[in-house]
Amino acid sequence: MTETKNIMIVGVGGQGTLLTSRILGGIILTAGYDVKLSEVHGMAQRGGSVVTFVRYGEKVAEPIVEEGQADVLIAFERLEALRYAHFLKPGGALVINDQRIDPITVVTGAAQYPENIIEDLSKTYKVYSIDAAAEALKLGNSRVFNNIVLGVAAQHMDFSKEDWLDVIAKTVPPKTIEINQKAFLVGYEM
């Protein structure tokens, strides 16, 4: 691999995007690449729009993914997918968890939540959407939706299934390894 690979994870503060970036960081290190991750802490975490950048390759310089540069954009919420879609490079994969969380601007009536986000984004981008909450419920644990989404995104990266399952086992709490691996496979084999 000569080109640096750019991944973005976006969502709403509190959705648990940090776990996803930890698993991602883990598999990249296992593969022996140079890696840089960048995330936002502090005030913006409180229910605000959050972004994590992950870059890996032979030698990584900057820690952020810039507009027009992302190979994979993982969005844990529809509106956040729309907000950051322009960060994708031509041909990049847009993985969307089909969930709606109203920002306070919508709740107070100051703004409207856009309709048909996934349909509209599909006109410009390669969109892979999934209702991960519903799929997670089928597995009996609504909290593992993150790993279902990650499973879908993993189809667009070059790590083996075995390596993913291995890293998940090393990252999540021991009691939840099996359910998290199952969740990952739901997305990976979709």
Partner 1 sequence: MAEKKVMLGNEAIARGAYEAGVKVSSAYPGTPSTEISENLVKYPEVYCEWAPNEKVAMEVAVGASISGVRAMASMKHVGFNVAADPMYTASYIGANGGLVAVVADDPGMYSSQNEQDTRQICRAAQVPVLEPSDSQEAKDFMKLAFDLSEQFDTPMVLRTTTRLAHSQGVVALEDRVVPEDKVYERNIAKNVMMPGNAIKRHIFVEQRLKDMAEAANTLVVAKEGFSKDVPLNRVEMNDTKIGFITSGIPYTYVKEACPNASVLKLGMVHPLPKKLIEEFASKVDTLYIFEELEPVIEEQVRAWGIDCIGKEAFTVQGEYSANMIRKVVLKENLSINTPAEVPARPPLLCPGCPHRSVYTVLNKLKIHAAGDIGCYTLGAVAPLSVVDTTICMGASISSLHGMEMAKGKEYIKNWVAVIGDSTFMHTGVNSLMNMVYNQGTGTVIILDNSTTGMTGHQDHAATGKTLQGKVVPAINIYHLCKSMGIEHVTEVNAFDIKELEKVIKEEVARDAVSVIITKSPCALLKEVHFPNKCVPVPEKCKKCGMCLKPGCPALTKNEDGTISIDATMCNGCGLCKNLCPFDAIEEVAK
Least Cβ distance, residue 17 to partner 1 (angstroms): 14
Q: Give 104: exposed, middle or buried? Use CB within 10 Å, 0-12, 13-18, 19+.
A: exposed
Instruction: Specify whether the backbone of 142 is left (phi greater than 0), alpha (psi in -120 to 50) or beta.
Output: alpha
Residue 28's contacts (CB-CB under 8 Å, 6 or more residues apart) are 35, 54, 56
The one among 41, 91, 158, 175 contacting partner 1 by CB under 8 A: 41
* Shortest distance, position 93 Cβ to partner 1, whole Å: 15
Comparison of 129 and 185: residue with beta carbon closer to partner 1:
129
End-to-end CA, the chain: 26
**Residue 122 interacting with partner 1 (CB under 8 A):** no
Which tokens hold the place of 22?
């930890």
Query: Using the rule CB under 8 A, is 126 a contact of partner 1?
Result: no
C-beta of 138 vs 190, nearer to partner 1 = 138
Cα–Cα distance between 158 and 135 in angstroms, integer? 24
Q: Does 140 bind partner 1 (CB under 8 A)?
A: no
Identified binder of partner 1 from the candidate list 30, 48, 131, 155, rule CB under 8 A: 48
* Binding piece for partner 1, criterion CB under 8 A, among 39-47, 148-156, 158-166, 177-185: 39-47
Burial class (CB in 10 A: 0-12, 13-18, 19+), 59: exposed
State the residues that interact with partner 1 by CB under 8 A: 12-14, 25, 29, 34-49, 60-64, 66-68, 79-80, 82-83, 85-86, 88, 90, 102-108, 110-114, 124, 142
